Amino acid sequence: MRIVLLGPPGAGKGTQAKELVEKYGIVQLSTGDMLRAAVAAGTPIGLKAKDIMARGELVPDEVVVGIVSDRVDQPDARNGFILDGFPRTVPQAEALDRMLAKKKLRLDAVIELQVDPDILVRRIESRVEQMKLRGEPLRADDNPEILKQRLAAYGAQTAPLVSYYKGKGALRTVDGMASISDVAGAIGRALADAAFRPVSPSKPSKTASSAKTASGGKAISRKAAGSAQKKAPAKAKTVNGARRATKAASGRKPASKTASRRAAKAPKKSQKAARGRRLTK
C-alpha cells in the first residue's frame, strides 16, 4: 500500500501516519528525514544534496525524487509507504509518478485531510495562551503568525495537488476536523474504497473485455441452442431417412411365412413333373 497524505500544517498528518504505520505495517517517509539519512549515509544522491544545502540553496525536485527513489527500494518499504510532506508541488507529483512507473509501482490512494485554516489558527492561539498560563515553554511551531505563513505557503504551492490527484481519480477526502479516532476510521474506509477503484482513468482491462466476450458468448450459445431445438425435428427426419436408406442398401425385407412355404414346395412339384416325363417316354 502506497499512500500520500495531503493537508495543511496542523491538520494531523503525523498523528494519522503513525496510526497507518501500526495498522498496515508500512513505513512513513518524511522528506526531511530522508534527506538527512541520505547525507549521513554518503550516498551519491545524498552527497549531491549535501553540497546544495551547504550553499544555502533549495534542493531541486530531481534530487528529492532521487532520494525518495532510493528509500523506496529499501527492504522495509516493500510492503508500502506513506509519503508525508512530499510531493509539495504539481511538478514534484509528476516526477513522483514517473519514478514509480519506472519501478512498475503506483500510488494506491492520496488522502486529503480537509480542515478549516481559521479554526487551526484559533486552536494554536488557544493552546499558546494555556501554555503560557501553565508556565510551559513554547515550541517553535506554537506561533499563530508562523502558522498563518505556513498556511499561506500551503495554499499557494501544495493545494493545487488536490486538483491534480482528483483528476487522476486518486484523491480521497476526509474531514480532518473530526476526532482522531473518527479521522482514522474515515481514512480506513477511504483506503478500502480505493482498493476497488483505479487510481487513474484507463481503458477497460483485458480481463474485463474477456468477461464481456464470455457473457456475449453465453448469449450466442443460447441463441444457437434455441435454433438447434427448432431444427431438431428436421434433423430427426434426416436421420430416420438415412436409417431407411441404410436398411434398403443392406437388403430386402424378410419374406412372409406363406411365401417361404411356397418356395419350399416348388422343388417337390418340379421333381414329380420330371418323373412323369420319364414314364411317358
Tens-digit pLDDT string for the chain (281 aa): 899 999 988 888 989 999 999 998 999 998 878 888 888 888 888 888 888 877 877 788 888 899 899 899 999 998 899 998 889 899 999 999 999 999 999 999 999 999 999 998 988 888 888 888 888 887 766 788 888 888 888 888 888 999 999 999 999 999 999 999 999 999 999 998 876 554 444 444 443 444 444 444 434 344 444 444 444 444 444 445 445 544 444 444 444 444 445 545 544 544 544 444 444 44
Show me where the domains of the chain are located.
2-26+79-115+158-200
- Cβ(25)–Cβ(79) under 8 Å? yes
Query: Which of the residues are catalytic?
Result: 13, 88, 127, 139, 150
If you classify domain 2-26+79-115+158-200 with CATH, what class do you get? Answer: alpha beta
Residue 250, helix vs strand vs coil: helix
b/e map 213-235, b = 16+ CB within 10 Å: eeeeeeeeeeeeeeeeeeeeeee
Query: What does the DSSP 8-state code read for residue 205?
Result: P
Strands lying side by side in the sheet with 27-30: 27-30, 81-84, 2-6, 109-114, 171-175
pLDDT given for residue 123 in this prediction: 84
- Beta pairing partners, 110: 4, 171
Three-state SS string across 124-181, please? HHHHHHHHHHHCCCCCCCCCHHHHHHHHHHHHHHHCHHHHHHHHCCCEEEEECCCCHH
pLDDT given for residue 113 in this prediction: 94
pLDDT given for residue 203 in this prediction: 42
Q: In a 10 Å sphere around its CB, with 0-12 CB exposed, 13-18 middle and 19+ buried, how is residue 148 labelled?
A: middle
Query: What does the DSSP 8-state code read for residue 5?
Result: E
Question: Quick one: cell of 87?
Answer: 510531493
pLDDT given for residue 215 in this prediction: 40
Question: How many CB atoms lie under 10 A from the CB of residue 72?
Answer: 21
Task: State CA 118 to chain mean position distance.
Answer: 38
Query: Which residues, including other chains, have CB under 8 Å from residue 195's CB and lie 6 or more apart?
Result: 108
pLDDT given for residue 262 in this prediction: 55
Full-prediction pTM beyond 0.95?
A: no
Query: What does the DSSP 8-state code read for residue 59?
Result: P
pLDDT given for residue 210 in this prediction: 41
Query: In angstroms, rounded to a whole number, what is the distance separating the alpha carbons of residues 56 and 34?
Result: 18
Question: Quick one: cell of 102?
Answer: 519506472
Query: Which residues, including other chains, have CB under 8 Å from residue 200's CB and lie 6 or more apart?
Result: 106, 168, 169, 170
